[in-house]
Amino acid sequence: MFDLCVVGAGLIGSAASKYASRGSSVCLIGPDEPTKKERLTSSPRDIYGGHYDEGRIYMQSTSDPVWAKLAQRAIPRYREIERESGVDFATEVGCLSVGSRGGNYITAVKEVVQKDGIQAETLSGTEACSKFPFLSIPNMDEAVFESHFAGYISPRRLIKAQITIAKKNGCQHIQEAVRSVSRVLHDDSNKCEVVMEVVTDSGRKVLAKKVLLCTGAFTAFRKLLGTEVSPDTKLFPLAVTKLEISEEDAVKIKAMPSILYFGQGGADWNKDYPVDPRAPVVFYMLPPIRYPNGKYYIKLGHSHDSVPRLLHTGPQMKQWFVQGPDPRLTRQMANMITSVVKGVKVLSYHGDSCVVDVAPSNRPYIDRVHNQLGVAIAGNGYAAKSSDEIGRLAVELLMKDQWDIDIPQNLFHVQLKSGCGNPTSRL
C-alpha cells in the first residue's frame, strides 16, 4: 500500500513523484518512450506524448501573468535539480519574445516584465536584428529579450532528472500504462477502508491511499476519473518541423536564442504558412540543438489556432502520433524557418507530432476531484517550463491540503464533463 500513486511519468508526473517521495511512500506509473515498432499502426500501444524531445522553450515572462508566476517559481530550481540528479537539461541561451509594436501580445509581456521585476531588455525590430544579425525580424516589430533564466530545456532529460531524484527518495517506478483508477474496499488486518486501486494494461494492481493523475491529453481515454467522465479540455493536434543544419552552421549561429513570435510577419517571409485569418502569425522556434542522433536541428511549431482541428477519440490520437503531420504543413514550417534564420544550408527536414490539451480557462487544472484523487493536467501548451512547480503544487494540495503560492487556487479548479459532453460536478 502506497501513500500516493502518481499516474503519468511525463514532465508533471515525474516532478510530482519527486516532491511526494520526500516524505511519503510513492509509486510512479507510466510507460517509457515508445520504440520504433511501437510507433506503428499495428502496435497495440496507444499512449504517446510530446515530451520525447530535446527542445522546449523556457523564460520567466509571458503574456499571461499566471503562467509567468508559475515559471518564475520553477525555473530558478533548474540548477538545483541538475546538481541533485547529476543530469543536465537546461541551456541558457536566452529567449526573444517578438510581436507587433503596440500589439496586445508584446504589450502584455512588457507589463509582466515590469510588474514582476524580470531582468530583460526591450528592443526595436532593428535593434533585434543588430543584436542577432542572422535573424530576420521586421523593423516594425518590438522584442523583449531575456538573457537570464531563459533558453531551452530537454524534456527527456528533465524527466530523467526528476525520476532519478524520486528513485533516490525511494519512489518505485512501474513502466506501464494505466488502464483504470477506482475506489475499492480494502480489508487489511481486520480493518476495512476505502483505498484507490490502479490497474495497469498488464493487469497489475497497485493500491494507494491517494492517486494523482498527471496524464495530460490522454486522461479522457482511460477509466481514470470514473465511468463516462472526462476533463473539460480541447485536444489540438500540433505539428512541428525539425530542420537539419550542419554543425558548422550551428556554430555560426550559436548565439541564437529561443524565439516566440506573435505579429504580422516580415515582408520577405514565407507567405505560405498556416495562419488563422482572425489572428496574427504565431510560432515558436528553438535554436540549433544537437539531438541523440548527433544531428543539429532548428525546430519550429505553430499555434494551435493556426490549424483549428480537434481530436476526439483515442484512435484519432494514436493515428496523429503514428502517422505525423501533413507533408505540406511540414514544408510550410520549414520555409518559415529559412525565412527567419538567414545564411544556413538546409540538409533535411521532417515533421513530428504533438497534442495540446487546452482548458477553457487556458490555465492548468491543479485540483482534487475528491479527497483521494487529484489532477495536474491541461498544460495548454505552456506547462513544460513550469512542470516542476505544477507538480509541487499538486502534491502539496492533495497530500497536505496546502496552497502556498500567491495565486488564487480557484483559478486551477478542474472542470469535468459527462460522456455526452455535459458539465458535471466533481465526483
The CATH number of the domain where 338 resides is what? 3.30.9.10
Residues 287 and 140 in one domain: yes
Residue 350 pLDDT > 70, yes or no? yes
Asked if the structure places residue 63 within a domain, the reply is no
At residue 425, does pLDDT exceed 60?
no
Of 177, 130, 321, 334, the closest CA to residue 241 belongs to 334
This prediction's pTM: 0.96
Shared domain check, 215 and 167: yes
Mean pLDDT of the chain: 94
CA distance 331 to 243: 10
**Domain final residue, candidates 304, 321, 355:** 355
Give CA separation, 295 vs 91, 244, 292, in Å. 17, 7, 7
Q: Determine which of 313-322, 340-349, 417-426 has the lowest per-residue pLDDT on average.
A: 417-426
Q: Are residues 224 and 249 located together in one domain of the fold? A: no
The arithmetic mean of pLDDT across residues 96-114, rounded, is: 97
* One domain for residues 306 and 241: yes
Same domain, 117 and 220: no
Q: Give the mean model confidence (pLDDT) for residues 66-91.
A: 98
Please tell me the least confidently modeled range out of 75-79, 228-232, 370-374: 228-232
- In this structure, are 303 and 290 located in the same domain? yes
Tell whether 73 is covered by a domain.
no
* 187 has a pLDDT exceeding 90: no
Here the cell at position 261 is 513570435
Average pLDDT for 398-410: 97
- In this predicted structure, what is the pLDDT of residue 303? 82
Residue at which a domain ends, from 323, 355, 387: 355
What is the pLDDT averaged over residues 165-175?
A: 98
How many structural domains does the chain have? 2
Q: Is the pLDDT reported for residue 360 higher than 60?
A: yes
How confident is the model at residue 320, as a pLDDT?
94
Compute the CA torsion angle 48, 54, 60, 62 (nearest 10 deg): -60
Domain final position from 335, 355, 375: 355
Predicted pLDDT at 235: 96
Residue 16: give its domain's CATH number.
Answer: 3.50.50.60
Domain that holds residue 333: 95-147+237-355
Predicted local distance difference test score (pLDDT) of residue 279: 74
Domain annotation covers residue 273: yes
36 in any annotated domain:
yes
Give the pLDDT of residue 117. Answer: 97
